[in-house]
Amino acid sequence: VMATFEGRFTDAQGLRIAVVVARFNDLVTAKLLSGCLDCLGRHGIDTSAESSQLDVAWVPGSFELPLVSQQLARSGRYQVVITLGAVIRGDTPHFDVVVAEASKGIATVSRETGVPVIFGVLTTDTMQQALERAGIKSNLGWSYALQALEMGSLVKALPAA
C-alpha cells in the first residue's frame, strides 16, 4: 500500500535540537531566538537552563553558520539544527557574498550529514524589514521552530537512508 510520510508538531519526546545564532544584527537575531524558543517550549521541548534537549551556540555572523552547524550535526547528538541570522542589504555588495555562503553552506551541511538544518536567515533590504519579521509584526523565529519540529519528525518517520 502507498505510504504517506509527514512530520508532526507533537513529536518533541526524545528530540534533541541545536540552535546556532549569529551575533551580527543581534537586535534582530536575539528576537528570532526568543520567538523560536517560545514556540519550541509550547510544543513540548524542554527549554529550561537544565534542558538536555536543547543547546544554543553563538557565532559571529551568518557566514559562520555552516561550519558550526556542521560540527553540531556531525556530533550525532541532535536530530535537527536551526540556524538563525539576519543579513541586511543596506548598500553593501558584501550582502550577496554572505547570503550565498550561508545558504549554500547550510544546504550542503544538511544534505551531507542527513541532519535537517533549518535555514533561519532573514535577508532584507532594511533593518526595518528585518525587525518586522523578528517581532514588530510576525516573528519568523516561531516558523523556524515549527519547521524544525516538522523535519525532525518527518526524518524519523522516513525509511532509514
Binding part of the chain for ligand INI, among 49-57, 87-95, 103-111, 147-155 by CB under 6 A, reads 87-95
Q: Is 94 in the site for ligand INI (CB under 6 A)?
A: yes
Residue 43 annotated in active site: no
Q: Is 117 helix (H, G, I), strand (E, B) or coil?
A: strand
- Answer for which of 18, 64, 122, 142 binds ligand INI (CB under 6 A) is 64
Instruction: Give residue for cell 553552506.
Output: 105
Minimum Å distance from CB 87 to ligand INI? Answer: 4
Q: Is 60 in the site for ligand INI (CB under 6 A)?
A: yes
Q: Do residues 57 and 71 make contact, with C-beta atoms less than 8 angstroms apart? A: no
The three grid cell numbers given for residue 54, joined into one nine-digit string: 536543547
What is the distance between the alpha carbons of residues 64 and 54, in angstroms, rounded to a whole number?
20
Nearer to ligand INI (CB atom), residue 15 or residue 88: 88
Q: For residue 87, which phi and psi values (nearest 5 degrees)? A: -115, 120
The three grid cell numbers given for residue 129, joined into one nine-digit string: 524589514
Which residue of the set 94, 104, 111, 156 is catalytic? 94
Q: Do residues 29 and 85 make contact, with C-beta atoms less than 8 angstroms apart? A: yes
Q: Do residues 53 and 76 make contact, with C-beta atoms less than 8 angstroms apart? A: no
- Answer for which of 7, 66, 85, 105 binds ligand INI (CB under 6 A) is 85
Q: Is 57 in the site for ligand INI (CB under 6 A)?
A: no
Residues that bind ligand INI (CB under 6 A): 22, 24-25, 60-64, 85-88, 92, 94-95, 98
Catalytic residues: 94
